[in-house]
Amino acid sequence: MTSTAPALGRATGRAQPRDRRKLADNLTGWGFAGPATLIILGFSLIPMVWALALSFTDSDLMSSGRNVGLDNYRALVADPVFHQALRNTGLLLFCYLPASLAAGLLVAVLLNRRVRGIGFYRTCFLVPYIASATSAGLLMGYIFDRDFGLLNGMLVKVGLPAQGLLSSPSQAMLVLTAIFFWTRFGFTVVIYLAALQEINKEILEAAAIDGAGRWAVFRHVIVPSVRHMTVFLAIWGVIDVLQFFDLVMTTTKGGPANATVTIVYYIWQLAFTYFTAGYGAAVAYTLFAGTLLLVVTGLLVARRRGAMR
């Protein structure tokens, strides 16, 4: 027993400084992460909880309002503007997402080459994405204006009739979809381009030696190699579309006749134009639930098909 006591004491002595260093490292880590954690709690989680409570009231943001239970959520079923916002957002998602993924991959393949001026071409696709949405909206508002727009001026000069564009209920949402595609397309290209540069060159060379043509290489080598990025971009695109607000705000403001109102823009109208914040919070949480459902479903389908391996 006497021989083991000094050894135990030495082991305990070595463990104590190690524990102190571990504690010091943890405190240092929380010292750096603490402010960011407080910001996240203060500006994200706490407002989310507050908005959830708000969705069960008839608050106008000036007062707490009275509790109305699930009345705000029941009102969504009979709200024609909410249904119109769902249709507009669904149309945007249906038109934008497949076109963005397909065209983004094709353009990335074209840009993944060593040719003269390739850096300039890559920059041209990225600039619309990094430009502010406000400036893009104001620019496109000028181009697609019905009376003084650049596009209608060009159409008239070549003998074609002027179009309603952003002032036409039948054309406005399609024009906004095209603008949205132009502003977001560069991000898809950059992500796909990064994925293409990670593909092993030996695989491409082996396919070429085996006699595979360009289409065969694209279909059987490139597309499977970037499918994990396709899943990421699809989920990112869904979230991006469901949050579509800025271009609507700077171009059409939901008009004409609610033809371009989206879910997020409708939430903004309810809270800050009509001062029905409780109902707006209910719409916001309905959007949150729908987004979560779409994202989780997409991840499960991708995992089942092996696209995330």
pLDDT in tens, 193-223: 989 988 888 888 788 787 878 888 888 888 8
Q: Is the pLDDT of residue 233 over 90?
A: yes
**What token pair was written down for 192?**
């796909």
User: pLDDT value at position 8?
Assistant: 44
Contacts of 279 (CB under 8 A, 6+ apart): 58, 72, 75, 270
Percent of the chain whose pLDDT exceeds 70 = 94
Residue 192 confidence class, pLDDT cut points 50, 70, 90:
very high
Cα–Cα–Cα angle for 84, 129, 81, rounded to 5 degrees: 10
Entry pTM: 0.83
Dihedral, 224, 229, 234, 238 alpha carbons, nearest 10 = 170
What contacts 41, CB < 8 A, 6 or more positions away? none
The average pLDDT across 226-237 equals 92
CA-closest candidate to residue 111, choices 188, 166, 211, 216: 188
pLDDT digits (tens, 9 = 90+) for 288-306: 999 999 999 988 988 887 7
Q: What angle do CA 300, 305, 309 make, to 5 degrees?
A: 85
